Amino acid sequence: MAAEAGQALKILKDENYKLTKQRKSLVDYLADNQNRYLDVTKVDEYLRQLYPGMSHNTIYRNLKEFEEIGIVETHVKNDQMQVKFQCDYKHMHHHHFVCSNCGLVQEIEMCPIDMAFFEQQLPGAEIEGHRFELFGLCANCKAKK
């Protein structure tokens, strides 16, 4: 986990962000929970316990900036925004299996989507990306059932 946090801090530095103790704490928290999506409100609660003077806006702005530079991935569950540490900096285009019981996130390396199929249906449009997630029970949760 230390290597992933170090890589994220390097990206912040390369993008000319100050490496404040709050940002380092945010990166460490996300890296410590890298196999799960976290409710943004939980991230907010955690950081505000560490830094009581830190505003909600600062936390949400940092998460948005982290997403823009590729440190976190976002996901919506039950109308609640969630974030997780970026799985794979070498392959930004990837997909996930998410356990609907324990929340474990596993990377799927293969992309099942043929973009040419969609480009044919959307003449003149420019597709900038897509998301693909599978939901179900991970092997551990299935075995416990």
Tokens representing residue 6 in the block:
């170090």
Determine if residue 111 is labeled as part of a ligand binding site: no
Determine if residue 99 is labeled as part of a ligand binding site: yes
Tokens representing residue 71 in the block:
């440190």
Determine if residue 102 is labeled as part of a ligand binding site: yes
Kindly write down the DSSP assignment for every residue of 57-106, as one continuous string.
Answer: HHHHHHHHHHHHTTSEEEEEETTEEEEEE-S-TT--S-EEEEETTT-BEE
Lookup result for tokens 């480009």: 119
Classify burial at 97, counting beta carbons within 10 Å of its beta carbon; exposed 0-12, middle 13-18, buried 19 or more.
middle
Determine if residue 138 is labeled as part of a ligand binding site: yes
Residue in 90, 89, 84, 131 with CA at minimum distance from that of residue 105: 84
Annotated binding site for Zn(2+): 99, 102, 138, 141
Annotated binding site: 93, 99, 102, 130, 138, 141
Annotated binding site for Fe cation: 93, 130
